[in-house]
Structure 1
């Protein structure tokens, strides 16, 4: 029996080492914006970024920064333009990520068992790949399904359908940290779902009943 395990990226494979408002401020300061001005830019940036992201804008980071500069009036008082700010944020996001202990070992153990591995993530393809490559993770996967390439964001079922096309298998498992955006749609798509809960007690796995373990014990 063939098996394919797909993993979420942010919050599952990689996680930020600082609150996002600090990451955003650091990115702005790096290109000449004051920390106070960066704080005023965050809310308009977030609003514009997520609107652009939902619409599959080709450059949502740049769209967000352009809107933030316009709304705050900082476009006329700083030398940093939207493109420069966007690239700084992408780079700062990437460097402000880490991988939890045991992640690489788990991926290696699954691969040694003949399990096909994939990433299924909401995100801009190039940016999510940068994060994975920084930690030497990208090449460990047999398939990469960012929502921007799938044409739909989780919890829409389409990314899961694309995942099945990319890695044909008899059994599918999806590992993610969001109950709403990962676990619920994965189950609806016929995947066995594993919820990564960073607040759970270390060394303790929770399942609804012992029968739930059967679907995770998959081999070629």
Structure 2
């Protein structure tokens, strides 16, 4: 059984604090690339004719959109979708090339598209330093290893012990299964920190978690610090 200190606060390690990525830890200076920009990147990196690249991207986007609209549907793996769309058209490409196509297509080569939210970085450090378990949960299109590459490049503090990136395939927010997966463990308290009322805050509260809404335009983590008595 988890112990509490004499002040009534949950003992260190008994609290799992889950941070959303985009809009919370990572600030998007510009919107995610659309199908046209995605198609140009895929055609260039994978040496495809524009018409073929357009077919492939439309198939990938249509499948992803269908899964994302259905809140209970599992999100398919982005890289698997791309590989399958290419293979059915006789245009098989090696995995490193698929990764590079996704990296460029999703704007990760652009120096001015993503940046670290410094208040969020401080919140990550302070939460971990206080002995709480930090985890990440992100609805995304980048496979997990590319998400980690992006976060490392942005100098996101590596204080989290686990991350669930939905582009690898599986349940996504607001599906309660995603929240349950990312907080596997003997925790007496769970806190969700994120910018989306529908995908982060409401589903966490339905599960009985505490939830801290974040405004990307004015990120303030005072509510989290109050909950953790920091």
Normalising by structure 1, what TM-score?
Answer: 0.68
Q: Which secondary structure does the structure 2 equivalent of 1:91 belong to?
A: helix
1:117 deviates by 1.0
Return the alpha-carbon distance in structure 2 between the equivalents of residues 45 and 84 of structure 1. 18
- 2:60 and 2:82 in contact (8 A); partners too: yes
Q: Which secondary structure does the structure 2 equivalent of 1:140 belong to?
A: coil
Return the alpha-carbon distance in structure 2 between the equivalents of residues 36 and 146 of structure 1. 30
Return the alpha-carbon distance in structure 2 between the equivalents of residues 25 and 138 of structure 1. 33
Give the structure 1 partner of residue 100 of structure 2: 88
Q: Any stretches of 5+ residues in structure 2 without a counterpart?
A: 1-9
Deviations along 1:9-45, whole A, 9 cap, x unmatched?
Answer: 2332224444312752552234445789867765443
Give the structure 1 partner of residue 18 of structure 2: 6
Return the alpha-carbon distance in structure 2 between the equivalents of residues 149 and 30 of structure 1. 21
The answer to whether structure 1 residue 159 and structure 2 residue 178 are counterparts is yes
Q: 2:227 aligns with which of 209, 217, 220?
A: 217
Q: Which secondary structure does the structure 1 equivalent of 2:25 belong to?
A: coil
Return the alpha-carbon distance in structure 1 between the equivalents of residues 63 and 169 of structure 2. 22
Number of equivalences: 204
Return the alpha-carbon distance in structure 1 between the equivalents of residues 138 and 205 of structure 2. 16
1:86 deviates by 3.3
The answer to whether structure 1 residue 139 and structure 2 residue 173 are counterparts is no
1:185 deviates by 0.7
- Give the structure with the larger helix fraction: 1
Q: Which secondary structure does the structure 2 equivalent of 1:173 belong to?
A: strand
What is the aligned-residue RMSD (CA, Å)?
Answer: 4.0
The answer to whether structure 1 residue 20 and structure 2 residue 44 are counterparts is no
Q: Which secondary structure does the structure 1 equivalent of 2:135 belong to?
A: strand
1:153 deviates by 1.7
Normalising by structure 2, what TM-score?
Answer: 0.66
1:6 deviates by 0.6
Return the alpha-carbon distance in structure 2 between the equivalents of residues 128 and 117 of structure 1. 17
- 1:31 and 1:85 in contact (8 A); partners too: yes
Give the structure 1 partner of residue 208 of structure 2: 190
1:171 deviates by 2.7
